[in-house]
Structure 1
Amino acid sequence: MINMPIWQRSLDPLFGPPKAGHYRAQPEDFWVDEQLDFTPEAHGEHLWLRVEKRNQSTLEVAKLLSRLCDVTPRDIGYSGMKDRIAVTRQWLSVHLPGRDAPLDLEQSLNAQGITVVEQARHPRKLKRGVHRTNRFVLRLSGEAIASDDFISRWEALCQSGVPNYFGPQRFGHEGHNLQRAEALLNRGWRKRDDRQGMMLSTARSFLFNELLSTRIADGTWTQPLAGDTLMLDGTQSVFHIDATDATLQARAMALDVHPTGVLWGVGEPGQGDAASYEAYLQQQYPGLCSGLERSGVKQARRALRMRLLEPQLDWEAGAVRLSFALSRGSFATAVLGELIEISG
């Protein structure tokens, strides 16, 4: 059975481990706003709702919308899963061909603590992963924010980027999702046992984090290696390099390109110096790697580093408020993990 490790932090060599801190003492301390890069077209069979929720998961809101609108769960669309213990804004869609939403829909949602911020019609269902960024406003407190190096840590992340770890929520309480994924892959993955593919995602996320942690330990997570696949900042566009040079190194230093790590699956093996990190994963976790390949999931790439977009820090009484945006799929908890030793 695989136990959850403690992954490397990028700032420890410079500052040592961070001191203890607190976040999410109340939902209002963790605020998230999902950002699209387009607007609904104001016509069509799907009603799009931008809602604000507190202490509720995306799936809970989707189930409620399904019931209130008398549609099946597959008629509800959403782009991303948002934190439960938080105040979050996000879009959801409801397929309502040829009919209006219930007249009391907003009132019924409001009675459940959900506010409709705006709504519009659109020809298509909201698909997973179509939002551009998530905007975060986080309130931190505790010993860490009073530390002499707190501002230096924050400035280092703004300048050099943040390890693009999958957050602990991906692995479940005490890593239980990882253990479930390991057991499922060992006996042979089947769609009926993992309808949403969550166990596949958990296993791939764990392997990615392991690779990233190893490259942080080696000091290679921000700079291209021979054989790396690089990703253009702010996009999913990738290109392979056989060798590195001064130009690529400069582009990486400027956060224009990022080395990537494998999201394990069926595909070509790595090459050059970068291949040794994938070989390490295969050697250490043969069951996960072979199980993912047998499942048929396709290999993909994820940037090892994320850029903080429009970062801002403001002091409050006994606390600090951080504001920044991240590209979709990146976790604010990875930012927090570099700044505080999370104690609650």
Structure 2
Amino acid sequence: MTELKYLYGKPLAEAVFKAEPEDFIVNEILGFEPEPNAAGQHHWLYIQKTGMNTEFLARKLADFANVQPREVSFSGLKDRHAVTQQWFSVELPAKTEVNWSHFEEPGALILKQVRSGRKLRRGTHQANEFSILLRSVTEPDLVNQRLSLIAQGVPNYFGPQRFGHEGRNIDKAKAMFAGRRVKDRNLRSLLLSAARSWLFNQIVDARLAAFGLEPVAGDAMQLQGSHSFFLADTIDDTVRARLAEGDIAITAPLPGRKKKARDEIERSEKASEAERFEASVLEPYQAWLDGLIRAGVEQHRRTLMLRPVDFEWNWEGEHLRLHFRLEAGAFATSVLRELVQLKESSGAHFIE
């Protein structure tokens, strides 16, 4: 896979990443509290897990409760080689009692449980909090210079974990769009998600190369703290000031089938500069676009830039501890790649 453009230039400093699970701590923030209901069918569990992926733990919960894995829900996938805290919900018949204190799985600890009448659904959490230790950081002076820049924002790329080991899910997606049948529904969904995430990354990469962070006429702007959009038909000082203040953000498309007319951003019949640019980047991938539409994947927008919230850091000798919060769906590795070149403890590059 080709290297995506860096906003601040490729970093010269290097650091060891995820030498231990405790070097990468993630806390899921729902943004709401599950509504208690003593007679509810959904058992919500807030669990700390170490060294295991989310789906593995979900299957273990299903086994313990003697239900099918589909009865176990979670909002988002969390890294395996990490210490993470996140919510699960397990659907059981209304009168079924489960003593969750008897659940035992090495590396998993139930911190909180709430019985509720509602199911936890995918993508409902608001944000994730990160505490990350980068070990054996080289070029500390250069790193210090970048830290303040990164606090202002980084490209909102999907991280490499979205595309599978060595990007193999992209090759599988290409084959699927070329006609190879994928019978497994979950795998098919995974490949569709990887494909449109990859297309988004290509648009952001091309956009930064062509315009940097400058807005262009016809940009779809997202209002801060909402999923509302408007078109900036003309770019003036007001638009630039709102962008600088973080009140609005430039977006790029997650390709797919257009939504119903009432949900679309109304555009004029004449394509804007922003539309023409996005179309030019996507033109070589028409087979992918057709495949996403046939699969019923809906088009969405995602912000071009990602701003880490409450971004803090402190040095621990030659190691660097970072603390920040990201909106759901954003990748911590997209923040880290602008700071240092990441390596595994073995010395192999973690991110190219």
- The reply on whether 1:136 has 2:130 as its aligned counterpart is yes
Q: Counterpart of 1:18?
A: 12
Q: Counterpart of 1:172?
A: 164
Q: SS where residue 120 of structure 1 aligns? A: strand
- 8 Å Cα contact 1:204/1:263 also seen in 2: yes
- Deviations 1:109-139, CA, capped at 9 Å, x for gaps: 3x43210111111111100111111000000
Q: SS where residue 178 of structure 2 aligns? A: helix
Structure 1 gap ranges (5+): none
Q: Counterpart of 2:297?
A: 297
> Cα gap change, 1:282/1:311 in structure 2, threshold over 3 Å: closer, same or farther?
closer
Q: Cα offset for 1:191?
A: 7.0
> Cα gap change, 1:18/1:257 in structure 2, threshold over 3 Å: closer, same or farther?
farther
Q: Cα offset for 1:194?
A: 4.6
Equivalent positions of 1:212-231 (< 5 A) are 212-220=204-212, 222-231=213-222
Equivalent positions of 1:253-268 (< 5 A) are 253-267=244-258
- 8 Å Cα contact 1:189/1:295 also seen in 2: no
- How far apart in 2 are the matches of 1:223 and 1:253? 11
- How far apart in 2 are the matches of 1:256 and 1:280? 28
TM-score computed with the length of structure 1 as normaliser:
0.91
- 8 Å Cα contact 2:21/2:51 also seen in 1: yes
Q: Counterpart of 1:329?
A: 329
Q: SS where residue 285 of structure 1 aligns? A: helix
- 8 Å Cα contact 1:260/1:304 also seen in 2: yes
- How far apart in 2 are the matches of 1:280 and 1:142? 42
- Deviations 1:205-247, CA, capped at 9 Å, x for gaps: 0000011011121233x33211111112233222222222211
Identity %: 38
- Deviations 1:301-336, CA, capped at 9 Å, x for gaps: 111111111111111132010000000000000001
Q: Cα offset for 1:195?
A: 5.6
- The reply on whether 1:107 has 2:102 as its aligned counterpart is yes
The counterpart of 1:64, out of the listed 55, 60, 66, is 60
Aligned length: 333
- How far apart in 2 are the matches of 1:195 and 1:139? 33
Q: SS where residue 278 of structure 1 aligns? A: helix
Q: SS where residue 342 of structure 1 aligns? A: strand
- The reply on whether 1:125 has 2:119 as its aligned counterpart is yes
Q: Cα offset for 1:288?
A: 1.6
Structure 2 gap ranges (5+): 259-263, 345-352
- How far apart in 1 are the matches of 2:111 and 2:120? 17
Q: Counterpart of 1:309?
A: 309
Q: Cα offset for 1:293?
A: 2.3
TM-score computed with the length of structure 2 as normaliser:
0.89
> Cα gap change, 1:115/1:193 in structure 2, threshold over 3 Å: closer, same or farther?
closer
> Cα gap change, 1:330/1:101 in structure 2, threshold over 3 Å: closer, same or farther?
farther
- 8 Å Cα contact 1:53/1:89 also seen in 2: yes
- 8 Å Cα contact 2:182/2:188 also seen in 1: no
Q: Counterpart of 1:152?
A: 145
- How far apart in 2 are the matches of 1:47 and 1:36? 16
- 8 Å Cα contact 2:13/2:142 also seen in 1: no
Q: Cα offset for 1:196?
A: 6.1
